[in-house]
Structure 1
Amino acid sequence: MVPLPAETLPGGAAGHGADGLELDASTRIDADPEAAGTEAWLRAELGAATGLPLPPGRGEDARLRLTVDPDAGLGPEGYRLIADDEGAVVVGHDPAGVFYGAQTLRQLLPAAAYRRSPLGGRVWRLPSVRITDRPRFGWRGCMLDVARHFMPKHGVLRFIDLMAMHKLNVLHLHLTDDQGWRVEIRRYPRLTEVGAWRRESQVGAGTPKSFDGRPHGGFYTQEDIREIVAYAAARHITVVPEVDVPGHSQAAIAAYPELGEGEPVEVGREWGIIETVLNTTDATIAFYRDVFDEIMELFPSGYICVGGDECPKVQWRASETAQARIAEEGLGDEDGLQSWFIRRFDAYFASKGRRLLGWDEILEGGLAEGATVLSWRGTKGGIAAAQAGHDVVMCPTATSYLDYRQSDGPDEPIPVGTLLTVADVYGSEPVPPELAEQGAEHVLGAQVNIWTEHMDSPRTVDFMAFPRLSAFAEVAWSSHERSFEEFLPRLEAHLERLDAVGVEYRPLDGPHPWQRRPGVQGRP
């Protein structure tokens, strides 16, 4: 199983046989009202794969039972799964725990349980087993960048299912950047009319830069977002939106030039850090308050991410308005100005009952009081924030950036960044040793980040994400001492499930021929 449960023992309930439970046309499901969502999910998923009706049952009539019991001593999101020849029961501390127990139940069946139609000629048997399980971290996340390359809604919903399959519970959705604005804001329609489209895209990371000459774009309507959020919530996944300020904002400035510091610009078509930044006028602050008001209506998440990373100060140094703001607020320098900008939204979110989330550059110039830090430039920022009493999510580039090359071989498509293998991801430790004595309690958890500059389709996202995302899922969920040698056979079996789902993952021995990009340069 992936991720590995905390405790797995052979045999089910005392006094019952060890043959396990065969699912057949007479198998019924009974569920508490609190577990009704998981009952519907399990019937739909297993019903599609097995062809079994799995109708509702009550009491002795049901062989599969789903129940919520907060007094079972399991802890948040924890569950117990007991299967024997009499039946199978999943007890969860809460509805999420029941859902994760059902995910484990599915893994106990053959990999064909992940297909969308029955193949015939199969016996569906749950082994006799007793499993007790709970997550190590409450934040088990994945950041998906839909700004650089737009992922259509059905691709996002599919990705949510893949996250749920791995017991991940936070989808950090990167919605805006220099190269595209992907969410409808009704008060400012040009954000998508103009900002959602670019005339071409850079190909690879070579010098000189090359471009594909092909327009690219797309955005989610507010109804699309509500659907995505509801679909994720039904799978116990929180969607955390990211709208970048004050850097990574060229698409917004292309739509509304008055937000910028310089001449009008087009939506970005190049990758990398771009010097175009927002100005710091009251009008720009008010504009983004309006934007975040609509974002908060769409996303019930307790966290709203403002980015705050990679904000060049070149334009601010030359800007009269920026320098006047520094002087009148007594900010000292441009780092202080960025901190001032972020603090405006920290206070605003707090007034709405939300918390600000940002990349670790928000530490520069002083951290906003209620901010939570995404530690990506190594672990130093996360350590400093945690020791100062701020919550952190660990996602350092060395172990968490799934856009990084998967081998040093010549067949990797558009290889960028440092080497990050499945083993590297699996061997990562979210809690730095520096926090062992003070600050570990502020590590909410960990996430991996999928930046899509070089992923122009869901197929390439599959290739870069899997199976490394499967390895990360165990890092974030399981508490056991990890050994890659022990994990590898379980991962190889898990790949059969990914095959059944249709995930175009990178094979462990290297890319398929059609997954390569010969002639397209990457970068160190």
Structure 2
Amino acid sequence: MPHTSLPSLLPRPTSAAAGEPGSLTLTQTTRVSADAPAAGVLAWLQREIGAATGLPLGTGDEDSAQIRLSVDPRAGLGREGYRLIVDGEGAIIVGHDPAGLFYGAQTLRQLLPADAYRRAPLGDTAWTLPPVSITDAPRFRWRGVMLDVARHFLPKHEVLRFIDLLAMHKLNVLHLHLTDDQGWRVQIRRYPRLTEVGSWRTESQQGAGRPPTFDGRPHGGFYTQDDIREIVAYADARHVSVVPEVDVPGHSQAAIHAYPELGESGDIPVGTQWGIFDEVLAVTDHVLDFYRNVLDELIDLFPSTYVHVGGDECPKTQWRSSPSAQQRIREEGLADEDELQSWFIRQLDDHLAKRGRRLLGWDEILEGWLWEGGDTAGDGRGRREGLSPDATVMSWRGEEGGIAAARAGHDVVMSPTHTSYLDYKQSESEDEPVPVGTLLRVEDVYLAEPVPAGLTEEEAAHVLGAQVNVWTEHMDTPRRLDYMVFPRLSAFAEQVWSTGGRDYAEFEPRLRAHLDRLAALGVEYRPLDGPRPWQTRPGLVGWGS
């Protein structure tokens, strides 16, 4: 039976069919059972669906419960897979693992009316589950979103709300961009000035006009270590891994302001403009020790296998005239400043590897290195060593970095700007708020293919998945964040979860139904036909084509 005859599920499951006649209506007497590995999903279902419906959804035994939850790795469902069956007798969800069971529970919620996403019952809604048989599992293991909290700080409770929205869409990675020129957002106990003075700036650029204009208003904020522990635990309960990013050696003005000895130009302010700036970290032993210590505290806070060190957009101007940088180039036998940047990243890569973690970086971490068996720089030079085999590349400047990394045997997360940057404009209309970049419509996100063409089967296996990035220079409130992210994030969720072909004409009706769920949650998404009047920002200039 075609998907269109079923409830509007998103992302589209692998296999879904109408079941035998006989629906299940949830009532005051409905009970739920769960085996031990399913306890977390049981608690989530009782809390979230219970709040919306006003039903107790009390715990019962397996024989008396109408909804039964279990984890069975022998069920042949695959990693994060689940099976959901609803008929007149009840509903059964079996997950390969707790994550799969959780995604099955998310699908169960989608089978209910959209008011199942509210926080309190409205009244006389009939909470009826239609008869269905669904078997499902994700296409990719990395289904991620990068959230930039450095340019504009997002309060903790909004981060938790964002995690719920990721989980609703079966996304499983939250990449937090915690540091940049414009602010340092995570408490490091060994270096308190990072947040005491590096977490706020005197004002912020408005729009992208030249010459720049500013709002004249201080902006700041940071997460304490206990805040981070709470965020990580909240995400873990929803099967979302939180990956921290501390961006080096460029994009470091806030850190240098806190500790001027880290840089090449003495005391500088926390950045107030958007863009790329010459101020970079020095490459001294002191700087390396400083960041090793920072990484050690992050490792204690974030259990994620991956730690992101940035590595992007690092101008070399200061290093060319720096005695210490030039001395380092000579001592290490490096050819130039590009290799110096790669050498710097390699020191952090080694440090993370010794602690059982994997370095992740933007595709610039490839520059200046050659791997055994290949001339990745294209200039005929060879190096004794490159990044460790476990280092993972996030390809943002198109697909080229991802292709080069996969061919060199490195894992890859695809995140090219033209399909993945949710700060980019959503139409050519003059009503779009602060239009930047190139056009990125919902359908463009939906139809993007994460695996680059031309890779062999072995090389393609290195593509862990894909990620969209939410750069917040022009998103200074949660309302503006919602407008830029949704519903494009809903389209991305299907891109990375669902297997098989994609047809936007088939997807759009399901998306329109899904907007009712977002509305019930209070998400201020962009309507498909353009912004509401209060979502525009007249007078603020953007950039790009």
Return the offset for 1:437: 4.1
Whole-angstrom distance in 1 between the partners of 2:394 and 2:428: 28
Q: Secondary structure at the match of 2:166?
A: helix
The 3-state SS of whatever aligns with 1:36 is helix
Q: Secondary structure at the match of 2:339?
A: helix
Deviations 1:32-56 (A, max 9, x none): 1101000000000111100000010
Please report how far the alpha carbon of residue 373 of structure 1 lies from its aligned counterpart in structure 2 after TM superposition.
Answer: 0.2
1:183-207 deviation per Cα after TM superposition (whole angstroms, max 9, x unaligned): 0000000000010010000000011
C-alpha contact (below 8 Å) 2:34/2:62 kept by paired residues: no
User: Which structure 2 residues correspond to residues 21-32 of structure 1 after superposition, within 5 A?
Assistant: 21-32=24-35
- Superposition pairs of residues 2-151 of structure 1, within 5 angstroms: 2-12=10-20, 18-151=21-154
Q: Secondary structure at the match of 2:512?
A: helix
Q: 1:330 aligns with which of 327, 330, 333?
A: 333
What are the Cα deviations for residues 347-397 of structure 1, in whole angstroms up to 9, with x where unaligned?
Answer: 110000000000000000115123100000000000010011000000000
What SS does structure 2 have at the residue aligned with 1:433?
Answer: coil
Report what 1:237 is aligned to.
Answer: 240
**Residue in 2 that maps onto 1:251:** 254
Alignment of 1:470 with 2:478, yes or no, is no
Residue 420 of structure 1: aligned partner = 440
Aligned equivalents of 1:197 and 1:8: distance in 2?
A: 50
- Answering whether residue 539 of structure 2 is matched by residue 519 of structure 1, we say yes
Structure 1 residue 238: Cα displacement: 0.2
1:482 aligned partner:
502
Deviation readout 1:115-161 (Å, 9 max, x if unpaired): 00000111101001100000000000000000000000000000000
Could you give the per-residue CA deviations for residues 5-49 of structure 1, whole angstroms, max 9, x where no partner exists? Answer: 00001115xxxxx12101000001100110100000000011110
Residue 436 of structure 1: how far off its partner (Å): 4.1
Task: Confirm or deny that 1:402 pairs with 2:459.
Answer: no
Q: How far apart, in 2, do the equivalents of 1:205 and 1:225 lie? A: 32
- Counterpart Cα distance in 2 of 1:437 and 1:244: 32
**1:94-493 paired onto structure 2 within 5 Å:** 94-366=97-369, 367-369=386-388, 370-493=390-513
Amino acid at match of 2:427: S
> Which deviates further from its counterpart, 366-375 or 441-450?
366-375
Secondary structure in 2 matching 1:435: coil
Shift of 1:263: 2.8
Letter aligned with residue 463 of structure 1: Y
2:528 corresponds, among 508, 515, 518, to 508
Question: 2:500 is aligned with what amino acid?
Answer: H
Mapped partners of 2:40, 2:154: distance in 1: 27
| DSSP-derived class of the 1:434 partner | coil
Q: Unaligned 5+ residue runs, structure 2?
A: 1-8, 370-385
Q: 2:171 touches 2:240 (CA, 8 Å); kept in 1? A: yes
In structure 2, C-alpha distance between the alignment counterparts of 1:59 and 1:224, rounded to whole Å = 38
Tell me the amino acid that sits aligned with residue 425 of structure 1.
V
Report the RMSD for the aligned CA atoms in angstroms. Answer: 0.6
Q: Deviations over 1:401-437 (max 9, x none)?
A: 0000000110000000000000000010000111144
SS of the residue aligned with 1:65?
strand
Q: What amino acid is the match of 1:291?
A: V
Q: Which amino acid aligns with 1:131?
A: I
What corresponds to 2:377 in structure 1?
none
Instruction: Report the 3-state secondary structure (helix = DSSP H, G, I; strand = E; otherwise coil) of the residue aligned with 2:25.
Output: strand
Judge conservation of contact 2:26–2:127 (CA < 8 Å) in 1.
yes
* Matching residue's letter, 2:536: R
Q: Distance in 1 between matches of 2:310 and 2:416?
A: 15
Q: Provide the C-alpha distance between the structure 2 equivalents of 1:116 and 1:171, rounded to a whole number of angstroms.
A: 24
Distance 2:114 2:76 in 1: 31
Which residue of the partner structure matches residue 15 of structure 1?
none
Partner SS, residue 495 of structure 1? helix
Which residue identity does 1:491 align to in structure 2? L
Distance in 2 separating the partners of 1:11 and 1:474: 23
Rounded Cα–Cα distance in structure 1 between residues aligned with 2:30 and 2:62: 12
Conservation of the 8 A alpha-carbon contact between 2:432 and 2:531: yes
Letter in 1 for 2:132: V
CA offsets, 1:474-502, max 9 Å, x none?
A: 00100020000000000000000000000
Which aligned runs of 4 or more in structure 1 are off by greater than 6 angstroms? Answer: none
Give the Cα–Cα distance (whole angstroms) in 2 for the partners of residues 461 and 433 of structure 1: 32
Unaligned runs of 5+ in 1: 13-17
Separation of aligned partners in 2, 1:487 and 1:437:
28
TM value normalised by structure 2 = 0.95
Question: In 2, Cα distance between the equivalents of 1:303 and 1:95?
Answer: 21
What whole-Å deviation, never above 9, does each CA across 1:436-460 have from its counterpart, x for those lacking one? 4441000000000000000001111
TM-score normalized by the length of structure 1: 0.99
Is the 8 Å Cα contact of residues 31 and 67 (structure 2) preserved in structure 1?
Answer: yes
Equivalent position amino acid for 2:387 in 1:
A
Distance in 2 between the 1:136 and 1:178 partners? 36
CA separation in 1, counterparts of 2:54 and 2:116? 10
Residues in 2 aligned to 1:330 and 1:410: alpha-carbon distance in whole angstroms: 53
**Structure 1 CA distance for aligned equivalents of residues 469 and 326 of structure 2:** 35
Deviations 1:59-88 (A, max 9, x none): 221000100000000000000000001000
Question: CA contact under 8 A between 2:278 and 2:315: conserved in structure 1?
Answer: yes
